Chains A and B, each alone.
Chain A
């Protein structure tokens, strides 16, 4: 064993994996730092998912707080959070812009017609150009942007009503108050 520690590499790698599995048993997703927090949201203008002739983008909601939700039909977590998104839109407190990421237009439209559409409008980003600017590395992700155009919060992973109440709602009220 001393002669050839490289033969221990597989066992060591496996031990690391087991460590992750053990941590996986406990869970409580905490704060997620994002380099964008507190900075101005990156500008963009993309084709609308429903109507390629129309442009939608970050300037649609200037002067009011809004949400950017990154989603795709191949993403299981997006399916999971969809009910929550619909509920948020039903509350009507804040407009939501969808960023359809690396997806197929027909599939995405079918998804919205089948499951319901929580978005004010949806930007279509099949090549992930805008998503890179926003530092998206997986779906779903949800950004809260304040009335002043600054990113206030970033949620990685599916939204739940609890996360919405705990992390988003307290930020939205003051964000609105400033305008």
Chain B
């Protein structure tokens, strides 16, 4: 079996930067719990798609063997720095670059010193414990003009490339649920999903994911994306669907909560 585990995790840096805030700390713990499950599945590589790595030209894949430095989030800089040291599976990443055009997707590798690794990827690597030398990653960008179908294609082709190279992979989609955010400063201790409707939508979608009802999810996601202002239209979920060939039998929600009003969930899919 090529895909050994799959996860949906939030892109907000708040759980990493401020775990002492109870709600954010619970998300931090949930991501660490998911990280342990990921490690237990014993993958060779982790396929990561992050909504915050935004591209507008081509599909970008991280092909730099080691990316390291200190990142400062453009919104939450006052909560501290985000050091990172991320190792990529360049063999698989280059295979994805080569394979993409065969699916109609113009692609390129990104291998530059100082390239700004996005907040979501750094958060996922830090809290899931991935991206080290023992568990390298392949990171795919979010081309803003790609739709759900193209994103599924990317997930599928990455898995196909891994299969060709006889690698076991975990799949991680980095992104949020509802996107309504508090637009004035709040006391972090009072953080909650910005409105009740968003909360209902998030929970409804999470229940469908837990039940593995992909058909109903496909029907509802466009409405969910619109009504709950979902991060990037929930394209990151389609990365998972593509990688899993459109099927999973259920899921375990390790955590769900707010990130400055937006919805954040840590989900482990049952394959």
Q: Do A and B bind each other?
A: no
